[in-house]
Amino acid sequence: MTTRAPERSTAVVRTLLATQFAFNVGFYGVVPFIAVRLHDGLAASGTAIAVTLAVRTFSQQGMFVVGGALADRYGARRVMVAGTVVRTIGYVALAMAGSVSWMIVAAVLTGIGGALFSPALESLLASKGRADDAEPQDSTGLRRTPTRDRLFALLAVCGEVGAVLGPVLGGVLLVHGFTTVALAGAALFAVVGVALYRVLPPGPPLRSPRSRPTGADATAVPASWRVALRDRRFLLFCLAYSSYLLSYNQLYVGLPVELDRVGAGPAALPGLFLLAAVLIIVAQLPIAALTRRLPTRWSLPVGFGLMVAGFVVVAVWAPHTPGEIALWPAITWVVLLTLGQMTVVPVAMDQVGRFAGNQPSGAWYGLLATAGGVAVLLGSFVVGPFLDHARQPVVGAGTAWWLMALFPALSAVVMAVLFRTGRADSTSRAVATSAPAPLLDPVSTPKRNGQP
Local confidence pLDDT in tens for the 452 residues of the chain:
444 555 556 778 888 888 899 998 998 888 878 877 887 788 776 667 777 887 888 888 777 777 777 887 888 888 999 999 999 999 999 999 989 899 999 999 999 998 888 878 887 887 776 554 444 444 444 345 567 777 877 887 888 788 778 877 887 888 888 899 999 999 999 999 998 888 887 766 555 444 445 544 444 555 666 788 888 999 999 999 999 989 988 887 788 888 888 888 767 877 888 888 888 878 888 898 888 888 888 999 999 999 999 999 999 998 988 877 789 999 999 999 999 999 998 899 888 878 877 776 667 877 887 888 888 888 877 887 787 788 788 888 899 999 999 999 999 999 999 988 654 443 333 333 333 322 222 222 233 233 33
What pLDDT, on a 0 to 100 scale, did the predictor assign at position 278? 84
Helices within 293-393 (DSSP H only): 296-317, 328-356, 362-389
375: Cβ contacts below 8 Å, ≥ 6 apart = 242, 243, 245, 246, 407
What pLDDT, on a 0 to 100 scale, did the predictor assign at position 448? 29
Name the packing angle between helices 328-356 and 269-292 (round to 10°). Answer: 40
Dihedral-angle region of residue 449 (phi above 0 means left; psi in -120 to 50 means alpha; beta otherwise): left
* Residue 15, CA distances (Å) to 12, 158, 189, 200, 375 in order: 5, 11, 14, 8, 31
What pLDDT, on a 0 to 100 scale, did the predictor assign at position 1? 42
CATH number, span 1-130+148-203: 1.20.1250.20
* Residue 97, CA distances (Å) to 38, 104, 203, 213, 334 in order: 10, 9, 35, 44, 32
What pLDDT, on a 0 to 100 scale, did the predictor assign at position 421? 65
196: Cβ contacts below 8 Å, ≥ 6 apart = 15, 19, 77, 80, 81, 84
Cα separation of the two ends of the chain: 16
Q: Determine if the pTM surpasses 0.85.
A: no
User: What value does the mean pLDDT of the chain take?
Assistant: 78
Query: Domains of the chain: which residue ranges?
Result: 1-130+148-203, 227-434
Question: Which residue(s) pair with 130 in the sheet?
Answer: 147
6-44 burial string, b = 16+ CB within 10 Å, else e? eeebeebbebbbebbbbbbbbbbbbbbbbbbbbeeebeb
**Could you read off the pLDDT of 8-48 as tens digits, one per residue?**
567 788 888 888 999 989 988 888 788 778 877 887 766 67
What pLDDT, on a 0 to 100 scale, did the predictor assign at position 426? 37
53: Cβ contacts below 8 Å, ≥ 6 apart = 34, 35, 107, 252, 253
What CATH architecture is 227-434? Up-down Bundle (1.20)
Q: What is the dihedral of CA 7, 442, 361, 60, to 10 degrees?
A: 70
